[in-house]
Amino acid sequence: MQLARRLHVALTLLLLLTPSGVAADELTGTWTGQLRGNMHYFWERSTRVVLPEGGVQLESPDGLRLGADLLVDVITSASIAFAGSSEDALFTEFRYEPQLSIGKEFRLDRAKLDLTALARYSTENDYTSYSGGGIARLALNQDNTVLGVTVVGIHDEIRASNNAGFRETLDGWTAGVTFEQVLSRTTVAVLGYQIGALKGFLGNAYRRVLRDGAPVGESPPRARTRHTAYGRLMTYVPPIDGAVHLLVRAYTDTWDMLAINPEVRFYKEFGDFVMARLRYRYYAQNDAGFFQDVYAADWPGAMTADPKLRAFQAHLLGLRVDVDTPFLDGSFLDFASDSSIYLSVDRNFTGISYGAALVGTAGGVLRF
């Protein structure tokens, strides 16, 4: 079984990393595009995630964009949440997520309107998710102002592999607006707001809470409305050939949760090909209004044992290096001279064991 799983992963990787046979030539006015591939790795004390993904985007001579992506989520966990309240079992799950997108930019009189529609499907043995939506971006004032609107809808179907009778659904939608403004020759600001509403089963089919000392299935509220506001200030600093980006995100919802999430990123360009990014991210949240470590026998409301619904803080430090490859121009790797590759490593520190993780990501884009 272990060998079969490894073979499964290897074949999937091979499919994702093999360049397609599409031949595009921009000079002849035919299709252009890009191939992209990424490999993500997440390490936590009780969980490992390997997530390869790949995709292709094609653009027609008149600007129509077609995209197709596929990711595979390979999760290996040792978790009492899945096996019951007293066992600590090791298991591996696969999740597949294909995504299709189509978009086009329209030139208006004194503006540019970019429209994108996307559809996504995610499946694993006990969870299926369908989502689709659209993104509109309107660039005004010679691109000094960009307004964005995003709308996404989801429908999820939830099952439990240890309970054939368990069938639940989750439906929701998200709508967001963004406002991007050039402030000077070196500075850009972005502000955004997003609202989302979910209705249905919002828990984990396997997780148990302690009620009066006995484990029972968790039962969080069946509706949740989420508000997120965020901002980003980016400024280029010519003397150091780099930029500083300040980000902040504030969140609240109808589960009585509050969270704040500031982040600072420092970018440094080294010559024409290399760029490094150093970042620090802080995250803090309170506990959900109904969260308890142990529930009384006569507890009248919602119950959860979800550790991410308790109060905690987290600090993240990360380093990323990007390398562009125009130096390959004229070499035997000339076909890859308009490409870029990157490697990033992040370490997340939390006051609880859950979420204290090491994350590595590597990938690249090959343009043609």
Partner 1 sequence: MPIPRFPRAAPRRVFLPPARTLLALTALAMFAGCAHVAPYEREYLSRRSMDTNQREQAEQRFWAHVSEAREGAGGAGQSAGGGCGCN
| Cα 41-43-45 angle, rounded to 5 deg | 165
Q: Which listed range, 16-24, 83-91, 221-229, 331-339, lies at the site for partner 1 (CB under 8 A)?
A: 221-229
* Least CB distance to partner 1 at residue 109 (A): 17
Q: Which is nearer to partner 1, 56 or 257 (CB)?
A: 257
Inter-CA distances, 306 with 19, 93, 163, 323, Å: 41, 20, 20, 40
Binding partner 1 by CB under 8 A: which of 66, 70, 138, 195? 195
Contact 228, 248 (CB under 8 A): no
Q: Which is nearer to partner 1, 33 or 224 (CB)?
A: 224
Contact 95, 123 (CB under 8 A): yes
Q: Which is nearer to partner 1, 29 or 163 (CB)?
A: 163
> Does the footprint of partner 1 cover residue 48 (CB under 8 A)?
no
Contacts of residue 90, Cβ cutoff 8 Å, sequence gap at least 6: 76, 77, 78
Contact 135, 177 (CB under 8 A): no
Binding partner 1 by CB under 8 A: which of 31, 127, 166, 282? 127
Torsion on CA atoms 188, 57, 152, 279, rounded to nearest 10? -40
Q: Please report, as residue ranges, which positions from 2 to 41 form the binding site for partner 1 (by CB under 8 A).
A: 36, 38, 40
> Does the footprint of partner 1 cover residue 122 (CB under 8 A)?
yes
Q: Please report, as residue ranges, which positions from 252 to 271 form the binding site for partner 1 (by CB under 8 A).
A: 252-253, 255-259, 261, 267-269
* Least CB distance to partner 1 at residue 89 (A): 15
Binding partner 1 by CB under 8 A: which of 303, 314, 336, 366? 314
Cα within 13 Å of Cα(192), Cβ side: 23
**In this structure, what are the phi and psi dihedrals at residue 275, rounded to the nearest 5 degrees?**
-140, 140
* Least CB distance to partner 1 at residue 95 (A): 6
Q: Which is nearer to partner 1, 22 or 294 (CB)?
A: 294
> Does the footprint of partner 1 cover residue 173 (CB under 8 A)?
yes
Q: Which is nearer to partner 1, 171 or 334 (CB)?
A: 171
Which residue in the block uniquely carries the two structure tokens 């709308």?
151
Q: Which is nearer to partner 1, 9 or 242 (CB)?
A: 242
Q: Which is nearer to partner 1, 24 or 81 (CB)?
A: 81
> Does the footprint of partner 1 cover residue 368 (CB under 8 A)?
no
Q: Which is nearer to partner 1, 104 or 226 (CB)?
A: 226
Binding partner 1 by CB under 8 A: which of 81, 117, 118, 328? 81
Contact 264, 244 (CB under 8 A): yes
What CA–CA distance (Å, rounded) separates 247 from 259? 14
Q: What share of the chain is helix, strand, coil (3-state, %, to 5)?
A: 10, 65, 25
What CA–CA distance (Å, rounded) separates 352 from 316? 14
> Does the footprint of partner 1 cover residue 215 (CB under 8 A)?
no
Binding partner 1 by CB under 8 A: which of 12, 131, 325, 339? 131
Taking the CA atoms of 327, 332, 336 and 337 in sequence, report the sign of the dihedral they define. Answer: positive
- The interface mask with partner 1, positions 100-119, x = CB under 8 A, is --------------------
What CA–CA distance (Å, rounded) separates 337 from 59? 19
Q: Which is nearer to partner 1, 28 or 115 (CB)?
A: 115
Q: Please report, as residue ranges, which positions from 281 to 310 form the binding site for partner 1 (by CB under 8 A).
A: 283, 285, 287-292, 294-296, 298-301, 306, 308-309
Neighbours of 287 (CB within 10 A): 16
